[in-house]
Structures are given as structure tokens and as C-alpha cells.
Structure 1
Amino acid sequence: MTQKIQLNTTVCESQLGQRLDRALAELFPTYSRSRIKEWILAHQVTVNGITKSIPKEKVLGGEHIEIHTYIEENKRWMPQKIPLNIIYEDTDILVINKPSGLVVHPGAGNPDHTILNALLDYYPDITHVPRAGIVHRLDKDTTGLMVIAKTLRAQTSLVDALQARLVTREYEAIAVGHITAGGSINEPIARHKSKRTHMAVHPLGKSAVTHYRILQHFRAHTRLRLRLETGRTHQIRVHFSYIHHPLVGDPLYGRRLRQPKGALEKLIETLSAFKRQALHATMLRLHHPITQIEMEWHADLPQDMLDLISALNADQEAFCQKEEQ
């Protein structure tokens, strides 16, 4: 359900030289800066009667602002008692360890039973924060760390930090094939031209940078540590598929399952049963949105990835022993 809203105000003289989106975020604290930026880009903001579309345009002070837009009401999202694995909590933020199979936000095909529904049940006051405080997402079957804002002030600060690339997110993954050395993938990403649920590398896409290093080589797979410089949808999965090393189990960007020649039966069974991308958000570091104290959290690999690594190790050892004979 959508609600029509009309807002108007006057820019303060003290805001001289500020970006338009930042000034409006201060003038309308009920709404996040990211939402206000979306309104500007959608030509829903006028300054002295002139429609504006550039969030970074500077204000002089004294301008009359009008906003005519529509917003989705959070009332359509119902609280649901879904367990959350909370790693850290204070009055401003939550850090959770997301399990596989849980969608972050309601959408097409997933109207409920999401992390957002769980947050509304766990902390009802979060209904006053846009998107129930969610500032970044993990794919349904990606596991690991996420930070949630419990207040509008915290959300605005976290969104700004993410946009400024001041939040460090590191992942572990297992990719198909033998990646010889670490490096970076700097390839823009856009919506796939024909598969609307897929993303793809495209020269006209948004900038996307993934850094990676090798943790371990197996016979036909590579264990990786990755750091995101940007946070595009499906970024890691798209980038590694693009360099012909898709993540193990990836249902969208993977290829037909290929077993290493002479693989142990245990590895064959484990790979065949691994039906999600082997990707886990293992480290999160940021400055607290209110205190500005640097904080860091770690989440151990989930059991299915540990089992996969164990099977890959056993296969590697068996192959080496056979080679020595």
C-alpha cells in the first residue's frame, strides 16, 4: 500500500554550501538521506519552484523546498517470530549472523518470513525506521554478518558510511577451478538484458570492485578471502562467474557440476548436495554510527561450508598419497 505525501520547508541560512540531499535529510529527519536522494533523482523535489535532479547540488540558504512523492507504508509488513542470531546489540545498532535460506527484505515471491519481519517482532520500535533499519543485504542463500540500524539517526549515518566506502566487509568463498593468485576484479555490473533476476558485467553498468586472495588450493577448487570495495547486487557471484570461476553451488551463475577426476565418493556426494553459493560474510568492520568508535565482528563458517572444505581436503590428501605411491 502506498501513501501520498507532500512536504515543504525553507532551507536554513546555516546550511549554506551543503549538498541538497544532506540539507533535506537535516530538514526532514523522519526520512533517511538515501530515500531523499531517491526522491531527487526521481524529479520529486522542487527548489523555488524548479525541479531538481542532482543530489549533490549545493544550497545557498533561504530556498523554498517542496516534495511530492509516494511512500510504501510499513504497516503492510507484519511482525513474525523468526529467530535472529544476534552477535552484537546496543541502543543504536544490531549485528546479526544471517543463516542460509532467509530472505532479507520482502519482495516478489517472498512477501513475508524475512529478516525484516523478524526485526519488527524482535524490536517493534524499528517500524519507525525506513526498511526496518536494513542498510545492506545478503542474498537469500549467502550467510554471515549484517548490521541493522535501530534508529533513523543510526541508519542515516550507516548509509552515508556505506556510500563513502567506509564499511569493510570480508567474505569467504569456494570457487570452481584453480585460481593461481590473488588480485582484483574491476568490472561494472548491470541488470542482465534478458534475465531480469540476474546481474551481469556490462560496460554501462555501475562500478564494481572485488579484491581477493587465495586461502587454500584444492585439486579443482580454490578457497578465497574477498573484500568488497563496492556492494552491487550479486557482485561476488557475478565477478567470479565472469572470470570463469563461479562459486560452488551457485544456482544462478554456476555451470554444470563437474567432479574432479577420481574424486572420493564423499566429495562427490558433498558437491552434489551443495545447492547454494558457497559464500559467507565472515568479517564486518565499521565506525559506530553514533559514538564513531571503530568496531569489528567475525562469524565462523557455517557447517555446510566446513563440511565442504573437509571433503575437499580429504580428496586432496587422497590424491597426493596416490601420486606418491
Structure 2
Amino acid sequence: MTQEINLKSEITSIQTGQRLDQTLANLFPDYSRTRIKEWILSGAVFIDGVVTDKPRIKVLEGQEITIQATLEEETKAEAQAIGLDIVYEDDHIIVINKQAGLVVHPGAGNSDGTLLNALLHHCPNIELVPRAGIVHRLDKDTTGLMVVAKTVEAQTHLVTALQAREITREYEAIVQGTIISGATVDEPIDRHPTKRTHMAVVHNGKPAMTHYRVAEKFRAHTRLRLRLESGRTHQIRVHMAHIGHVLVGDPVYGGRPRPPKGITPAFFETYMGFKRQALHAIRLELAHPFTCEIMSWQAPIPEDMKLLTQALRLDTQENPSIII
């Protein structure tokens, strides 16, 4: 599947002397600088009707710029009929409430059965968009809201907004230990120096910031609301483990489950039966890439986290004098 792109504009006096790639990025902000450079190098850009393949050439006032390009299929994956909980959809974006157990993008050990495969089935034209329009990810066992772009233009806008921290992503989590008050974790994250499938707080890693506040206290656990300033892999899980409050059910960063003392058999069964990290992307807010309207969505807490929360409340009521 392909899509023909035909764009035209005229250079103004303000743009005179600028590089061609810089000028085109400003003239056509719906497309990324990387894509524009690819178009120049491939001979899809014309100045006054003459093809040019030099991104650094200087432009002059009055020159007519034309782009005649073809968007080729970007995503080489199989469309699969996988059920999606679609919260919102229009011609430009899809907002999804991702279920636990669904991998976002194919990778080692997950060649299919992913959100990307589901998107290709739901919206076949999305194969023209890099990564099938996926602009941010959730871990396999994290539930909640994700936005997906249905067009290249929408993806460019969303990626730019994400990098500029203009998209609000809030999460709900249940962590081990009691936290007195909210705070911010501002620690760089990168690959673990020895465990290559893990992430860690690393001195020379990429900047990462997580804000959190206390939503509810239990006798040995805390329910948190968190907001990301950045979006590093496993960011919340790594930052919470770093400050000594690992997410309930997180085997990667928390090790074996550690139920509190004095619990009932019913609580033990619920606690030990929670087999994923207790993390849910509960709220998403962004400016629509086409209308610029501020839009916001909330995803209800999934049933397994509701049951865990209820069990923690009951445990706190039954053991008010036991301090962990």
C-alpha cells in the first residue's frame, strides 16, 4: 500500500539563506525532519522545477519548492484480529485502554499477537505510519491508556508533543511499604550494567523524572498517583524500586512477593495471586494533533487491582495495631 504526497510552497525573504532541510521542516511541520531529509536525498524535492538532493543547500526568496513523494508501507507485520478496548477514535488518532498481557510491539519472544498486529487489522492504512502509529509504550503487564496516530502527520505532532512534555500521562500504582507524602524522583535511567534485560538508575543514563503523590495508605503498602515528565523504559518501576518501594507483583524489580505479617488466608491468596506489576495508566491528556483541542480520557481501574486494593483495605482494618 502506498500514498502519494504532493506539497508546494514559496520561499519568503525571512527564509532566505536557510538550509533546505531546515526550511522544509518549518514549511511542512506535519512531517519529521528525518522524513524530509529522506525525501531530499531520494530526489523527491524540486526547487523551481529542478530536482535537488542536497539538504544543506541555501534557499532564496521567491523560489518555488515542490515535494512529490510516495509514502511506502512502513510496517512489515501481519494483521491479526485481536480485541481492543477503544476509548476514542477519529480520522487522526486512536486512544486504547490496553489490557494486561498484551505486548505493544513485536520483539524477541513476541513476533506476533501484539498491539501492533491488532492495529494493522483494525486500521489497515496504519501500515503507512512508522511503527503502526505507536508513539509511546506500556509494558506487557501494565494496563491503561495509550494514544496511537493513524497518519504520519498525526504521529509527527504527537512525537513532538511528547518530547516537549505536552502530553500528560498519569498512573495509579500500589507499592510495598508506607509512604508518608508525595515527592519527585529525578534520577537518570539506562540499561542495567550487568542484567541487560533490566533498566536501572545509572549515573550517566538518560534524564528521567517521576512525580508521585499518596492516594491511599495501608498498613504495609501505599496506593500512589504518578505523573511522568519523561518516558524511559520501565521508568516508574525502576524509580519506585530505587527509593525502596517496589510495585506489588513486579518480579523483575521486586523479587519474590513479600506479604505482610498477620494476614488472613484470603488475603494471602489474593496477594500471592496478583501476578503482574500493580500499575495502570489511568489518565491521558493531550492537544489533538489536527484540531488542537485539549482532550482528556480516564480508564477505570482494572478488576484485579480493585480486588487487591479491597484486600489491602480489609487487612488494614483487621490489623490496625500491627506496624510493618
Q: TM-score, normalised by structure 1?
A: 0.81
Cα distance, 1:265–1:248 mapped onto 2, change above 3 Å: same
Q: Secondary structure at the match of 1:267?
A: helix
Q: Secondary structure at the match of 2:315?
A: helix
Cα distance, 1:13–1:186 mapped onto 2, change above 3 Å: same
Computed over aligned residues only, the root mean square deviation of the Cα atoms, in angstroms, reads 3.0
| 1:61 pairs with one of 54, 59, 62 | 59
Aligned to 2:32: 33
Long gaps (5+) in structure 1? 1-10, 40-47, 53-58, 63-71
Q: Secondary structure at the match of 2:108?
A: coil
Cα distance, 1:287 vs structure 2: 0.4
Aligned to 1:97: 97
Aligned to 1:235: 235
Question: How many residue pairs align between the two structures?
Answer: 291
Identity %: 57
Aligned to 1:76: 76
Larger radius of gyration: 2
- Corresponding letter in the other structure for 1:278: A
Q: Distance in 1 between matches of 2:242 and 2:37?
A: 30
Q: Distance in 1 between matches of 2:16 and 2:110?
A: 44
Q: TM-score, normalised by structure 2?
A: 0.81
Q: Secondary structure at the match of 1:237?
A: helix
- Corresponding letter in the other structure for 2:229: E
Q: Secondary structure at the match of 2:247?
A: coil
Cα distance, 1:175–1:127 mapped onto 2, change above 3 Å: same
Cα distance, 1:33 vs structure 2: 2.1
Cα distance, 1:51–1:60 mapped onto 2, change above 3 Å: closer
Q: Distance in 2 between matches of 1:258 and 1:37?
A: 53
Q: Distance in 2 between matches of 1:38 and 1:137?
A: 26
Aligned to 2:137: 137
Aligned to 1:215: 215
What does residue range 157-168 of structure 1 map to in structure 2 within 5 Å?
157-168=157-168
Long gaps (5+) in structure 2? 1-8, 39-51, 61-71
Q: Distance in 1 between matches of 2:16 and 2:97?
A: 42
Q: Is the 8 A contact 1:21 1:36 kept in 2?
A: no
Q: Secondary structure at the match of 1:277?
A: coil
What does residue range 1-325 of structure 1 map to in structure 2 within 5 Å?
13-14=11-12, 15=15, 23=23, 25=25, 33=32, 36=35, 61=59, 74=74, 76-320=76-320
Q: Distance in 1 between matches of 2:98 and 2:74?
A: 22
Q: Distance in 2 between matches of 1:228 and 1:75?
A: 28
Q: Distance in 2 between matches of 1:251 and 1:35?
A: 38
Q: Distance in 2 between matches of 1:230 and 1:22?
A: 26
